[in-house]
Amino acid sequence: MNEIYQGLLSGFHEMTTLEIIAVFFAVLSVIFQKKNNILVYPTGLVSTGIYVYLLSHSHFKLYAEATLNAYYFVMSVYGWIYWARRKGQSQEHVRISFSAARTMGIAISIAVIGWAVFYFLLSNYSDSTTPIVDGFVSATACAGMWLLAKRKVENWILLNISNLVAIPLLFYKHLYLTSFLTIFLFIIAIFSYFSWRKEGLANESLQA
């Protein structure tokens, strides 16, 4: 226990201002995400941009996580545009909905193929020390982020699978503040799933 405690203290002392800023904006982003507020994207852009730089640093060697955050950055731009788009003659914004079988098939394919690609690249073209876990976390999060951009309820399931595996990985890499952020995201995602599910069911009843 003493070793764990000392490790935590050491990790907190090693935290940079950039990591603190990234975590702050990530917390804001997930709060806006839970509230189904479009501000999830501008706040997310700040956080993911910083994490791309931090995680690719040679000290951490979480290259797939860095790539994932670059993907988040791009998908945040796409999601921002998609969420702001108005649909049909009613000119309503795109609503929360459930994924059709085809959409879930695409999401699962993104996760599986992405994991294989990340693992291959990390194992053969990097000095990553955690290619299997790093690749899995990144691939499942990619799939979840794609569903989030399309405002699909199931995004929370895939994002939380990613979060659950990411927590011990981040502790192992001494990214303690980011580890606690991920625990926070995991808890929020559980409540968010049920909140979005309720709204998705309400939207279905309106369309019936």
What would the pLDDT profile of 39-71 be if each residue is shown by its tens digit? 888 898 898 888 888 777 656 667 767 777 788
Alpha-carbon distance values, 166 to 67, 99, 172, 208 (Å)? 15, 25, 10, 39
Tally Cβ neighbours within 10 Å of residue 116: 12
Count the alpha carbons within 13 Å of 165 in the hemisphere toward its beta carbon: 17
Q: Are 78 and 132 in contact (CB under 8 A)?
A: no
Q: So what's the pLDDT on residue 185?
A: 85
For the entire predicted model, the pTM comes to 0.74
In 82-129, which ranges are E strands?
86-87, 92-93
- For 126, the token pair is 């990097």
- In the predicted model, residues of the chain with pLDDT beneath 70 are 1-16, 57-61, 64, 86-93, 208
Beta-bridged to residue 87, according to DSSP, are 92
